[in-house]
């Protein structure tokens, strides 16, 4: 059984954490929270999208190279890493001091994702690889968000059990939960 912690407990752990994983549904706010942690605690932000998965022109980097890059980043002493690539949990989870699972409802994730598209369309976001401007979501991406709880959450649970049963994980299910974590961190 994984070690679930409250936002207040997570805030205490984050104060001394050297490596933090932020994962969950697309559009949930992983990158924004990771950037906030970077700015607040000085942990270098590693984005799975920007630093590991994507090449310019929305080309997917070779899986072997993705894994090699992940291993290199994970070996660093300090980081906050956002991304939900479960296939790399075997190397990411054991090195983490804290997991933050953003598990907002799909309607909220879709709404936030659409807001992001409207705000950033045609421009490269801070958490995306150069040469990958924001675009309209395709059916596969919308399906990923829509079916996240049914398809991805069980894989995440299994991977956490297998690779980090003692990793403290805080689950944030709403904007209110994310705000509660930030408030606890400020105090």
pLDDT class for 3, splitting at 50, 70, 90? confident
User: Mean pLDDT over residues 112-122, rounded?
Assistant: 94
Domain interval for residue 144? 3-186
State how far the Cα of 47 lies from the Cα of 22, in Å rounded to an integer. Answer: 10
pTM for this model (two decimals): 0.94
More confident site: 1 or 150: 150
pLDDT class for 184, splitting at 50, 70, 90? confident
Distances (CA, A) of 62 to 19, 67, 69, 88, 176: 25, 9, 11, 14, 38
Residues, the chain, total? 187
Q: Residue 119 is part of a domain; what is its CATH number?
A: 3.40.50.300
CB of 187 closer than 8 Å to CB of 23: no
Number of compact structural domains in the chain: 1
Long-range contacts of 60-67 (CB under 8 A, 24+ apart): 67/91
Which of 62, 23, 15 is closest to 172 using CA atoms? 23
């Amino acid at each position: 059984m994984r070690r679930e912690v409250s936002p207040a407990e997570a805030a205490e752990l984050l104060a001394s954490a050297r490596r933090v994983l932020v994962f969950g549904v697309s559009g949930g706010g992983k990158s924004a929270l990771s950037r906030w942690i970077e700015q607040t605690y000085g942990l270098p932000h590693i984005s799975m999208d920007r630093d590991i998965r994507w090449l310019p022109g929305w080309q997917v980097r070779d899986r072997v190279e993705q894994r090699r890059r992940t291993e290199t980043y994970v070996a660093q002493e300090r980081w906050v890493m956002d991304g939900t690539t479960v296939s790399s949990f075997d190397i990411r989870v054991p090195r983490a001091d804290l997991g933050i699972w953003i598990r907002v409802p799909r309607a909220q994730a879709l709404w936030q994702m659409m807001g992001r598209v409207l705000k950033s369309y045609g421009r490269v976001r801070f958490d995306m690889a150069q040469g990958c401007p924001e675009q309209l979501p395709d059916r596969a991406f919308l399906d990923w968000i829509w079916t996240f709880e049914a398809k991805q959450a069980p894989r995440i649970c299994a991977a956490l059990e297998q690779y980090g049963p003692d990793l403290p994980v805080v689950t944030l299910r709403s904007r209110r939960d994310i705000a509660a974590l930030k408030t606890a961190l400020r105090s």
